[in-house]
Amino acid sequence: MKHRATPDFWYYYRQLPIDIQQLADRCYDLLRENPKYPSLHFKKVGQFWSVRIGIHYRALAVEEDGNFV
């Protein structure tokens, strides 16, 4: 499974506090290694896929041709 971020994603990512950016980076590494890692709660919610970034944040993606954007 491949992941790709849009320019909008990077814009909003840079608006996050530094500690949340670092947490998001660690979660992304976990997601690449093991999408079923329990603390990520990677799951489909409606038309989106959601992954947990700590308690208060989520990253959302849509699936396109087997990849996540």
Whether 1 has a pLDDT exceeding 80, the answer reads: no
To 5 degrees, how large is the angle CA 22–CA 51–CA 19? 15
**pTM of the complete model:** 0.86
Report how far residue 3's alpha carbon sits from residue 63's, in angstroms, rounded to the nearest whole number: 9
61, burial (CB in 10 Å: exposed 0-12, middle 13-18, buried 19+): buried
pLDDT by residue (tens digit) across 4-43?
Answer: 999 999 999 999 999 999 999 999 999 999 999 999 999 9
pLDDT by residue (tens digit) across 45-56?
Answer: 999 999 999 999
Domain locations in the chain as residue ranges: 7-68
